[in-house]
Structure 1
């Protein structure tokens, strides 16, 4: 794989090595869920994490460990964050850092953690009508699509992918919405945008994970690679996870949200992400661990029995960092 995963883990892991979700805890799960069995965690997230099947792989072991249910609300990033702003979610997993930062700065989220990454790619019909195949510069590819008035299908839904797409058009100095009928906004999720592109022809910007998960069902190919395939860093697609602030919405299941963040950014959760494949293709790459992590999963002290052992010097207490 052209991208050097070790480099990303080392950069992201410096803070994580000091503790995941703010604290340490023993990996023995015998009584971890004693205080919360039967509760439901509401996760607002992107269509890409749900469409690929990754969430099912992550949620099943978490639900089994704590005896809880994860209720997933899959929308575009903007809509997912709005759901959380309204107090209708406990935790948010999204991939548009500018929108995440705004959510945090407005006081609606706490304890954001880097979770994983993949990349964006420009995909389109196999015969590549605009001739952008192999283009190393995103701006050049988009300019050619606009000049040739080749169909471009946009999600148009304020999702993380749509936010990235708008940024890329701006970098290319193009306002596609005012450029002609070749630019089509669907207002839909990634899977639907790929299906529409397959039906209409032309191109779209997709996250690699969703594209790979649907590759066998559509006749589209990658014409411009992201950094996972040796392309430009501007197509990097990082995902973060954020707990909803209980000081703003006291109804949220904050301890359960923090345990979920702890699980996904723990050794076990990161191994699930790394090992998740479709047709032998890895869809996401873990970004929460140091190369030699020395922590285990966070759980609140009250969830553990007095007989459970914790690593020496660990705290187990929830902290609101960031």
Structure 2
């Protein structure tokens, strides 16, 4: 087991996949010689050559359109979009081409491609470098959507995504890229802590898509979250006297509803936490499913804790993030209901 940041885990997953399968190629803006804006693809071009890891023009639509064609041809493109905020020009290609290729061709073609995108805030990136657009992908039939929260899962989920025969949207919380933090955005940690699973196994392994992880067992309430908010949830629960079970979804679609239902049936109370804006956020889907599947077990309404319904407020970044204080208030509310 090696200690790695999430960036290093992503780089290792690429190298392992490319070494195992000659059809895997890495492409995107500055991913080759420079190694990517966050250095996630550093040295891959040196190791595997310019035909396996190469730079593209600054055209997200062109990048995704080319990758769809490569995937239909039989290659396995792993695409990097520099920031999730930049994917909008390519959204039509993702939705109308990549997601529908298998269905439109009656199974004659598949689209084994991964679209990696840094997501979320926490690096003072302002409005055009900090969005959390996961709900735009979970609404699209034909796509799988993954959001890791730690290096070990990141490598295994990325390897599973590259091996998948259909398109996978792989959203990487940039707040977690360079190491752990203690769950308080105003108190970033510069050293490893017990919440960050920084030990990463060597070689090839997969973390199955569609399987959630119970990161903390509890009996009084269930807290469902993913990505950066896993660390916020754990920090909040540590400061609370309530025995809360914390579940890291890891994969938004396919969703491990079985694990969620089992937990909420046990605890009778549920909080859903995410960084994206509240209205029409992915938490609304989770809330609806829990209400439908666990109605007779619920002792209180399902609560959501999320970002503000506003364009990303750079000047109030730390207030925009749902922090432990807001989560603890939600825990108190759901227990008093």
Tell me the TM-score normalized by structure 2. Answer: 0.31
Higher Cα Rg, which structure: 1
Bigger RCO (CA 8 Å, 6+ sep): 1
Q: Give me the TM-score of the superposition, normalised by structure 1.
A: 0.32
